[in-house]
Amino acid sequence: MEDITNGQNKKGRKSLPWNEKAAKTKEEEILKFSRELMTMPKEKVLSSVVKMLKETGDKDLTAVIKAATRNSDVAKSAKKKLKTEELIVTPLTKMEAVGLVFDCKLTKFQYKLLREKINSCGQKILPCYDHVTSAKIECRPPPESVSISERTASVKLQGLLTHTLERIVLLSNDFICETHIRAGKKHEMLRLKCSYGFDGSSGQSNYKQGYASSSNGSSSDDSSLCVTTMIPLGLENHNGIQYWRNNSPQITRFCRPLHLSYRLPFKSWQIKSEFKMVAAERKKSIQDKFWNKVALRVDYPSPGGSGTSHDVNTARRAFSNNKTLSAILEIDEKLIYDLRTILIAFGSQLPIDYKQFQIHCYQLIVHYVNFYSWFKLPANPVISSKSLNAQKCLRKREPLPADVIHMLVPTNAAVVVQVSDEQEVHLDPEFAELLNELSFIGSSEYD
């Protein structure tokens, strides 16, 4: 008979390592072990844990438990800090929500759907649409200064200027208050610089409903629109300290050099009937050159009849190669390069040396008059600062051109440019005469 006294067979499953045990088994063992620990002194348990961590090499956790057990204040402060480091969700203000609506071109339905989805995740970030509507109303001029009829819509200039100034001051309130407190001032006279211009649009949809005729009895046509706009440029005091600045004041696009090039064969500002065919052929030839050499479609109507194919990417790519653009348009290369320099300087959003900038513009206009005085430029004869945004050059770590750097204020200068009394911003007489000769339209200032 087999002797089993020294080695009896044990029934049941073999005990598994801790990492291989099921979650439920782990919970049961933890509960059982914690009950056993509750019968022991807390100091003994904590000291045992510290010794075990120290032997396993976990120095950080060892130091934390040691400090927490020795001083209760350390444990409280650690708990408080952990709470503050939790994710804090700050909801958008109603004005920030309005900015989101305009930036993303959201409809009312899209905004509500987006808000619903975010709220379903447990984060109430976006305000309700009623608050967005009230914020939009606050952005409008006062109702008493607005006049709307079937044919026109207008705003009184004084009401528009007052409302614009109030919104700018509200936007820059913190900076203005901080500057006045530092300077010990209670009141200060500020100057709001603005520009105005005109623009038109044709090819609009004609409505089926009739509307009132004009005051002189002539019939009205709703297929074309004309608008007069006012754009704030900056807010500054008499010393030239800027409290607010519009970094992208205009949205004139790539059409100016193109229109100049279309008229080169007959060199006339207006295209008369005998030159229309020549201008059309010239336009078609330039469009073909752009497509064959640069793979760009320029001056084509956009789908739907609203606007043209000119956009930011088109302008940036066209101006990226001065020689190619000059060869296609048959316009002097130096003129194109000087225009590009101004665009990059504006797009950099860095402080510009007024004197150096005036010298550069003076040389550009003298050069322009010598070659193309027959073509009268409208206001802002440059593309938009957005069309050749220097911020993209900075993000890509591309160096700014030397001529641009020459016009910028030195890097060790203050961000807010102060203009002394001797450097009061005014146009040089010869410079002003050249501007008048070119017949610039639609720029002015209001104090």
Residue 380: predicted pLDDT: 43
Residue 109 has pLDDT above 90, yes or no: yes
pLDDT tens, residue by residue, 129-168: 999 999 999 988 888 988 887 778 888 888 888 988 888 8
The DSSP letter of residue 308 is B
Residue 442: predicted pLDDT: 33
Q: Which of 342, 347, 326 is nearest to 257 (CA)?
A: 326
The mean pLDDT of 122-133, rounded to a whole number, is 89
pLDDT tens, residue by residue, 214-254: 555 555 666 677 778 888 888 888 877 788 887 666 544 33
Residue 361: predicted pLDDT: 79
Rg (CA), the chain: 35
Residues 143 and 128: beta-carbon distance below 8 Å: no
Residue 101: predicted pLDDT: 92
Q: Which tokens hold the place of 195? A: 């520009």
Distance CA 22, CA 41 (A): 30
Residues 414 and 357: beta-carbon distance below 8 Å: no
Q: Which of 424, 425, 418, 415 is nearest to 351 (CA)?
A: 415
pLDDT tens, residue by residue, 292-338: 888 888 877 766 555 666 666 777 778 778 888 888 888 888 888 88
pLDDT tens, residue by residue, 260-291: 565 666 566 566 676 778 778 888 888 888 88
Reported as type and span, the H/E element at residue 197 is strand 190-201
Residue 153: predicted pLDDT: 84
Residue 250: predicted pLDDT: 56
Residue 212: predicted pLDDT: 63
Quote the percentage of the chain above a pLDDT of 90: 6
Reported as type and span, the H/E element at residue 392 is helix 390-395
List the beta bridge partners of residue 153.
148
Residue 111 has pLDDT above 90, yes or no: yes
Distance CA 413, CA 282 (A): 48
Supply the mean pLDDT for the chain: 71
What pTM was estimated for this model as a whole?
0.46
Q: Which of 266, 264, 252 is nearest to 440 (CA)?
A: 252
Residue 358 has pLDDT above 60, yes or no: yes
Residue 31: predicted pLDDT: 84
- Exposed, middle or buried: residue 435 (CB in 10 Å: 0-12, 13-18, 19+)? middle
Residue 110 has pLDDT above 90, yes or no: yes
The mean pLDDT of 90-101, rounded to a whole number, is 90
Residue 22 has pLDDT above 70, yes or no: yes
**Which of helix, strand or coil describes residue 229?**
strand
The mean pLDDT of 184-194, rounded to a whole number, is 82
What is the residue extent of each domain of the chain? 25-84, 94-138, 151-202+224-241+441-447, 255-416
pLDDT tens, residue by residue, 375-395: 765 544 333 333 334 444 434
Residue 443: predicted pLDDT: 35
Please report the DSSP string for 46-108 in residue order: HHHHHHHHHHHT-HHHHHHHHHHHH-HHHHHHHHHHHHHTS--PPPPPHHHHHHHHHHHT--H
